[in-house]
Amino acid sequence: MAEKNEAVEAEKATKAPAKKAAAPKAAAEKKPAAKKAPAGAAAAAKAPKAEAAQKPAAKKAAPSADASASRPGVLKVHHLRPVPGANTAKTRVGRGEGSKGKTAGRGTKGTKARNTVRVGFEGGQMPLHMRTPKLRGFKNPFRVEYQVVNLAKLAELYPQGGDVTVSDLVAKGAVRKNEKVKVLGDGDIDVKLTVSVDKVSGSAEQKIVAAGGSVK
């Protein structure tokens, strides 16, 4: 009996390590499966993105191909070129020898080979601004300007006669203020006037005195 018990215990001892070894193997087998699951999900998530990225590329390529096929002769900016001969290089004078070299096409010496002349210079002859005749006389800086009032206007402004002064004429609107006034003899007058202004002509004074007035 003792031998049987020892044999049973030995079998249990051999089976227990086997179970323990089997348990880590199962755990090891399960863990990679758990890791593979996210990888598969990521691959599944990437697949739609890749498809979405590929589809627009195909759509973009199609319009360009259609446009180039429908408009084969389209003119673009980089196709434009100047007409041959339109752009010519600037002639650089005074460089080296030849007709445009040493004297630069100006010849030797003389006025035309040197700098320009002043405006109005006619080669030494009498210039135009000195040949033309000028207006004679001068403007007198001491000239006195008068505002003119004729006798006809005075007869209209003073139908009953009276005193004629500069301030009164300004008030009636016949002259401007702060300016000298002169009475001239154009027209006739039949009323008595006493004229006191800056100046009166000889004919106007005769008519005023003949009508019974006076000049001061």
Mean pLDDT confidence for 80-88: 92
Residue 157 maps to a domain: yes
pLDDT, tens digit (0-9, with 9 covering 90-100), for 160-185: 999 999 999 999 999 999 999 999 99
Q: Which domain holds residue 173?
A: 147-215
Residue 1 binned pLDDT confidence (cut-offs 50, 70, 90): low
Query: Whole-model pTM?
Result: 0.41
Query: Is 199 part of any domain?
Result: yes
Q: Indicate whether 93 belongs to any domain.
A: no
In this structure, is residue 65 part of a structural domain?
no
Say if 167 falls within a structural domain.
Answer: yes
Across the chain, mean pLDDT equals 81
pLDDT tens string 2-17 = 555 666 666 665 655 5
Q: What is the pLDDT of residues 98-153, one digit of tens each?
A: 889 999 999 999 988 999 999 999 999 999 999 999 999 999 999 999 999 999 99
Q: Is residue 158 part of a domain?
A: yes
Write the CB contacts of 59 (distance below 8 Å, at least 6 apart in sequence): none
- CATH number for the domain spanning 166: value is 3.100.10.10
The total domain count for the chain is 1
50 within domain boundaries:
no
Per the domain annotation, does 203 fall within a domain?
A: yes
pLDDT(23) > 70:
no
